[in-house]
Amino acid sequence: MDVGHPIAGRARRRSRGRFSRFLLRGTVTGRLPAFLLAVGLSVLAAGFLGAEDYTVRSVRVYGNQLAFVDTIVASSGALGQPIFWLDTGAVAQRVAEHPAVAAAEVRAEFPDQLVIRLREREPAVVWRQGEQTVLVDRDGWVIATADRPELPHIEQVDGRLPSPGERLPASIVQAVTVLRERLGGQARAFEYSARAGVSVYLTDGRIVHFGTAERLPEQIQVLNAIEQAGVSWGNLDLRDPERPVLW
C-alpha cells in the first residue's frame, strides 16, 4: 500500500493548519466577514448598476429647429446604455458634432431617460445652386438642407453644392450679410464662383465684384467714392481695392 511521501504529507498538514488559523483569526477579528461583505456588495452593486431597468430607454431633445430628433438620438449613442455608467460629457461632444448643433447639454434622469438641450447654429445666408439650397451660418458652416426666404441668397455658379457639415469661406458669408445691409434695395442678387469670388448684381443691371471680400471695408469705401464721383460703369472689379477696374 502506498502511504505517500512523509514530507509531502507534513507540508499539506501545515498548509491546512495555516488556513484554519487564518479563518479563525479572521472570524474573531471581524476582517473576514467584512471582506466577504465587501465582495458581496461589489457584486450586488455591479448587478444593480448594470441592470436592465437602469438602461437608457428614451431620449428627450429640446431646442431643435433644424436638426431632426432621430439624428440627434442616433448621434448620442445613448439608447440601451447603462445610465449609471453613461458619460454625459462624451454624449454632449458627440451630439455637438451634428452640423446644425453649436453646443449641447446632456442630463441623465433616472431610472431610464436622457435629456438633451441643444443650442443650434444660426443660419445667416442661403447657399443655392439651381433648385437646391442649404443654410450656412456666419462662420461658413453648412447647417442643413433647407431654405429661408427672409435670408440673403447666394447663387453658386460652378462646382458642386456643399453638404451639411462642410465649411465655406466665412469672409464670403459675412460679406454678403454686410453688403445686403449696406446696399439695401440696390442689391438684387449675390453670386459666387471659385474664380471671381462674390459678385453683387444691382437692380440697375450693374455688377460689383468683391472677390474673397477679405478687405470689405476698403472695398465699400472705394465703391462709395466712385459713385459720388459720378463715373459711369457697368462692371466694377474691387478685388484689389487699391486698383479698381471699371468697364
* pLDDT score of 124 more than 60: yes
86 occurs within a structural domain: yes
How far apart, in whole angstroms, are the C-alpha atoms of residue 52 and residue 60?
19
131 in the same domain as 108: no
Domain end residue (candidates: 120, 137, 153): 120
Instruction: Tell me the residue range of the domain where 79 lies.
Output: 52-120
Distance of CA 83 to the CA centre of its chain: 22
Residue 186: partners with Cβ closer than 8 Å, 6 or more residues away: 202, 203, 204
Percent of the chain with pLDDT over 90: 76
Sole residue written with cell 493548519: 17
Question: Does the pLDDT value for residue 130 go beyond 90?
Answer: yes
Per residue in 164-200, pLDDT (tens digit) is 999 999 999 999 999 999 998 899 999 999 988 999 9
Picking from 172, 166, 158, 160, the residue whose alpha carbon sits closest to that of residue 124 is 172
Residue 1 placed within a domain: no
Tracing cell 476698403 back to the chain, one arrives at 218
169 and 64 fall within a common domain: no
For residue 230, give the amino acid letter: G
Which pLDDT belongs to residue 184?
86
Does 82 lie in the same domain as 161?
A: no
74, 91, 120 - which closes a domain: 120
Kindly state whether residues 62 and 21 are assigned to the same domain.
no
What's the confidence (pLDDT) of residue 27?
56
Cα-flanking dihedrals φ and ψ of residue 233, to 5°? -160, 155
53-87: b (≥16 Cβ within 10 Å) or e: ebbbeebebeebebbeeebbbebbebeeeebeebe
Q: Find the mean pLDDT for residues 208-224.
A: 96
Q: Are residues 128 and 150 in the same domain?
A: yes
Q: What is the mean pLDDT of the chain?
A: 86
Q: Is residue 161 part of a domain?
A: yes
Task: Assign 228 to helix, strand or coil.
Answer: helix
Q: Which of 60, 86, 120 is the last residue of a domain?
A: 120
Mean pLDDT, rounded, for 221-225:
97
Q: What is the rounded distance in angstroms from the CA atom of residue 146 to the CA atom of residue 137?
A: 13
Asked if residue 76 belongs to a domain, the reply is: yes
What is the domain count for the chain? 3
6-29 and 31-49 helices cross at what angle (nearest 10)? 80
